[in-house]
Amino acid sequence: MKLAIIGTGYVGLVTGTCFAEMGNEVICVDADAAKIQALEAGRMPIYEPGLEDYVKRNVAEGRLFFTTDLAQAVQKSLIIFIAVGTPQDTDGSADLSAVVAVAHEIGKAMNGYKVVVEKSTVPVGTARLVRQAIREELTARGVDYEFDVVSNPEFLKEGTAIDDFMKPDRIVVGADDVRVAELMKELYAPFVRTNHPIIVMNVVSAELTKYAANAFLACKISFINEIANICALTGADISMVRAGIGSDPRIGNLFLFPGLGYGGSCFPKDMQALIHTARSRGYTPRLLEAAEAINRDQRRLFVDRVVSHFQHDLSGRTLAVWGLSFKPGTDDMREAPSLTVISELGKRGARFQAYDPKAMDEARHLLGDNPHVTFAGSSYEALEGADALLIHTEWPLFREPDFERMKALMKTPVIFDGRNLYKPDKMARLGFQYFYIGQPQEG
């Protein structure tokens, strides 16, 4: 099939590339000419394992194209995916201005029947706005081309997005017409040969499904952090409690790791958007609001632990930082816990020597003007002369370090582990003062 993907951010680029990999002809569109030039030259705007190889192969084999010409892409394509950003607005709602603007441009360019697909994460009712914008432009042109608007939310995880797209556990299609639903099923058929379902529903239900999925996972993260905090008060071992409940198939171990809470481009924004959707209709989503409050508190509690250890005086203290991205496998630092922790401890006079395996360029962009932060060339370089180590991201590189080398490099062997990477008894034997999430309080 001939496809256009409007927006070459994380979702758009992965979507377009994977569709091309299955033999479709795909035109990826972006208003950023520099980004398009970089992609044509094989330079990726994001880090995602496997993506660069997929892009280069499909460009070389003539299935994947990049352009700034939205009108031409629309006219050449049958199915048009809208994959532009929907950032959080000041009131917590999703900012749909880019989505609606693209819909207007599609209406201006249409030259026949088109299927317009919402791939961006959008709140309930967005399909109506897209349909209205396209219809306005067709009316202004004095033409009456037929079109359908479909909701097709993505369920990609940063760090495993290629596998998630190529081997999905389910495909959700929101369509109000059986013909367009069949067309979408045909498009996705090569991806579900292992009999994972293509779930067809109405458009409104599909729009809400993505928010419901992310909200559930966010609540699960906040739940285990709440339990970890109760463990700290009662003397229970959070790792044992987690094993005890995670073995129940109704609960499962996924997203059941105590830590610094969720971050990234999806969970924080989508939680706020869903809360806004509920409140705008007169309902108070108490569970969602509690999960958000717990998530914020996890970072505050971590900061408080560091401040308390240094007796509320961090002036002149050097803190090593391992991990800057919001999760391993990505260079994405949007809503990353590391940013909050560095900001709060920096206000108290701390200095930082930071390292991340993939997010250093993004960190320099976000923190380069911060006089309290220097960037290390390796995880061990970050430790040189440090009064303590802060672990923000559970990169595999950090799981089995040379602890003796760490002790030799650090001024004092103190670790604040925001991801519970190590066993407390082992760290005690090795001579480290080790603080972790859910650690029983003294006394």
- Active-site amino acid positions: 266
C-alpha dihedral sign at 392, 397, 403, 409: negative
CA-to-CA distance for 408 and 267, rounded, in angstroms? 39
How many of the other CB atoms lie within 10 Å of CB of 442?
Answer: 4
At residue 279's C-alpha, the angle toward residues 276 and 285, to 5°, is: 90
CA-to-CA distance for 82 and 191, rounded, in angstroms? 20
Six-digit token string for 197: 């379902």
Cβ-contact 363, 389 below 8 angstroms: no
| Side chain identity at residue 375, one-letter code | F
Cβ-contact 403, 432 below 8 angstroms: yes
Question: How many angstroms from the chain centroid is the CA of residue 369?
Answer: 25
Q: List Cβ<8 Å contacts ≥24 apart for 164-169.
A: 165/14, 165/15, 165/18, 165/191, 166/18, 166/21, 166/191, 167/191, 167/194, 167/196, 168/192, 168/196, 169/196
- Which of 97, 60, 67, 103 has the alpha carbon at shortest distance from 82? 103
β partners of residue 353: 320, 374
Q: Exposure of 176 by Cβ count < 10 A (0-12 exposed, 13-18 middle, 19+ buried)?
A: middle
Tell which phi-psi region holds residue 392, choosing left (phi > 0), alpha (psi between -120 and 50) or beta.
alpha
